[in-house]
Amino acid sequence: MEVGAKCRAFLRAVKGFAKKNLVMVIALFAAVITMFIVPPDGQYLQYFDFKTLTCLFCVLSVVCALRNIRFFYVLARKVVRLFKNARMSVLALVYITFIGSMLIANDMALLTFLPLGFFVLSTTRKEKYMAFTFIMQNIAANLGGMLTPFGNPQNLYLYSKFSIPNSEFVKIMAPPFAIAVTMITICCLIFVKPEPLAIDDEKIRLPALHTTLYLLLFALSIAIVFRGIPYWIGLIVVPLSLLYLDRKALLEVDYPLLLTFVFFFVFAGNMGRIEGVRQFFSGLLEKNTFLVSVISCQFISNVPTAVLLSQFTTDYPALLVGVNIGGVGTLIASLASLITFREYVKSNPGKSIRYVVEYTLFNAGFLVVLVGIMLLIFMLT
């Protein structure tokens, strides 16, 4: 009986892990299937972008350490306290998430600032804006991260793979970024009333030494992203530092996300070596790389789309814009959207259907407007 109970507990744990990391599991199966078509050989080592994996690991590790000392919570709370009504507070929460996604990646921004949104609205009895705020924070995280190479995982990968110059990266992403900021602001002004509210003061002191050291490690990670420092230095300095300062941060890194990249590297690499597949995707992308990438994101999410389609096109500007805009739309268009849904349902049980409906309406609106404007821009340039 005891062995049977342990087996059932193990199976439940595996099922829960697989459900929570569905994209990673799909990536694993996709990689394994292609390995039967293209057996492992020496070329497999060429599939992996070790710099992307290292940069992602370093940034995620340091962000976890900063979150553990409540750095982002304190920073966000100080900003929110500057505003005195519901409309401006929701705007502040959304903008914080927007800016946070540029600096600490979209998924980490949501994990950091969604709880603050719940806290502000629940303590001020403004729960009626909860779903809207979560949805806007989600859209802000997906679209805000598009401006920096490290804002979204797919950005980091494409930035590294195509060696995109910093100035060109910003130039490519500036138009959709500006449109996204405008749309998010208009939505918050329309759908949230300027109702008065107050947030209780809470004294939290950050540990000065740890804060300084973590910010230095974060600066090191960003320097690696921008090719200022060899990536292997970060792979040594960051883990060794956190082993001493905060081992918990190393355990909290989103390793399933890193493994998702590894599995899709294998899948995409193998697909690129199958002649029929290469001809099909190359022909499809020649017609319209931007639209194909946007549509692909709606079904397999933006990170897998970036890794897969990058094997068949050199039109990285259109692909880069497509996999960022494509992050809005369906609930599976971005890994970050699944995080938001999970956090909302956890805090608001029994309201998942209403959330999905509202989420779909707002995201569909954003997707249609962004795609329409960017198609026009691509036609004129």
**Which stretches within the chain are classed as H helix?**
2-20, 22-37, 50-68, 71-80, 86-104, 106-123, 130-144, 153-161, 166-191, 208-225, 231-245, 247-251, 255-272, 275-300, 302-309, 316-325, 335-347, 352-380
> Whole-angstrom Cα distance, residue 48 to residue 375?
32
When the pLDDT of each residue in the chain is averaged and rounded to a whole number, the result is 86
Q: What is the pLDDT of residue 199?
A: 65
> Whole-angstrom Cα distance, residue 100 to residue 98?
5
Residues contacting 247, CB < 8 A, separation 6+: none
> Whole-angstrom Cα distance, residue 361 to residue 375?
21
Compute the average pLDDT of residues 21-32.
83
**Predicted TM-score (pTM) of this structure:** 0.78
> Whole-angstrom Cα distance, residue 377 to residue 174?
12
Q: What is the pLDDT of residue 210?
A: 93
Which pLDDT band holds residue 71 (cuts at 50, 70, 90)? confident
Distance of CA 203 to the CA centre of its chain: 31
Task: Determine the length of the chain.
Answer: 381
| pLDDT for residue 3 is more than 70 | no
Q: What is the pLDDT of residue 112?
A: 76
Q: What is the pLDDT of residue 14?
A: 81
**What pLDDT, in 10s, does the model give residues 209-225?**
999 999 999 888 878 87
**What pLDDT, in 10s, does the model give residues 277-329?**
778 888 888 889 999 999 989 987 888 889 889 989 999 999 999 999 999 99
- Check if the beta carbon of residue 105 is closer than 8 Å to that of residue 145: yes
| pLDDT for residue 87 is more than 70 | yes
Q: What is the pLDDT of residue 267?
A: 84
Q: What is the pLDDT of residue 291?
A: 94
> Whole-angstrom Cα distance, residue 6 to residue 242?
34
**What pLDDT, in 10s, does the model give residues 247-287?**
999 998 888 878 887 887 888 788 878 888 778 888 888 88
| pLDDT for residue 200 is more than 70 | no
